[in-house]
Amino acid sequence: MKKSFWSLTLVAFFIACSAGIVLGTNSGLPAAEGKAVYSYITKDNPYQGWSLFPGKDKFYKGQHPHGALLTTYVNDVALGGIKQKVGTLASGAIIVKENYMPDKTLGAVTVMYRVDGYDSEAGDWFWAKYNADGSIAKEGKVAGCIGCHTAAINNDWIFTGPVK
């Protein structure tokens, strides 16, 4: 009886681990993969219902390479960290930036998604750029994103506003 209990417990543990639900480790967040992130931010938890980055309105002035006008949304994890000035946003923080042309036509959507252990050399940020139609332009450890955002390493790689 004792042996079968532990055997079943062990099997249940491995199943839960593979599903990402042990001890609350899976909060429903996506894998660090372009399609999964896009599905999450557009279907599972639509970013346009999230808060704007504190201190930013819709259509604030942008800069290269993001576009002439920007709108930046943050999920609850990112918002809490920004408001509390934690300095380093927690794993699960997602920042979504809509990149607009001067005529307010959407050009792209760019994403920073902190995933614990993803890329310690670049702050554990997963980077993605989606075309206006949702197709993936870039994803992962994007050299251009990392190279530029290194200039904001003292602000958790974020240019939009202070997190400290």
Helix (H), strand (E), coil (C) string for 30-67 = CCCCHHHHHHHHHHHCCHHHCEECCCCCCCEECCCCCC
Mean pLDDT of all residues in the chain? 88
Rg (the chain; Cα; Å): 18
The 10s digit of each residue's pLDDT in 46-82 is 999 999 999 999 999 998 899 999 999 999 999 999 9
Per-residue pLDDT band at 164 (split at 50, 70, 90): very high
The pLDDT assigned to 24 comes to: 34
The pLDDT assigned to 125 comes to: 98
Mean pLDDT across the stretch 133-158? 98
Compare 95 and 5 and report the one with higher pLDDT. 95
The pLDDT assigned to 1 comes to: 53
Q: Which residues contact 102 (CB under 8 A, 6 or more apart)?
A: 68, 69
The pLDDT assigned to 64 comes to: 87
The pLDDT assigned to 2 comes to: 54
The 10s digit of each residue's pLDDT in 3-24 is 554 444 444 444 344 333 333 3
Mean pLDDT across the stretch 104-120? 98
Model pTM above 0.75: yes
d(CA 111, CA 127): 6
DSSP of the chain, one letter per residue? -HHHHHHHHHHHHHHHHHHT-GGG--SSPPPSSHHHHHHIIIIIS-GGGSEEPTT--TTEE--TTT-SEEEEEE-HHHHHHHHTT-SSPPTT-EEEEEEE-TTS-EEEEEEEEE-TTS-GGGTTEEEEEEETTS-EEEEES-HHHHHHHGGGGGGTT--SS---
Percent of the chain with pLDDT over 70: 84
The pLDDT assigned to 22 comes to: 34
Mean pLDDT across the stretch 30-55? 98
Compare 120 and 16 and report the one with higher pLDDT. 120
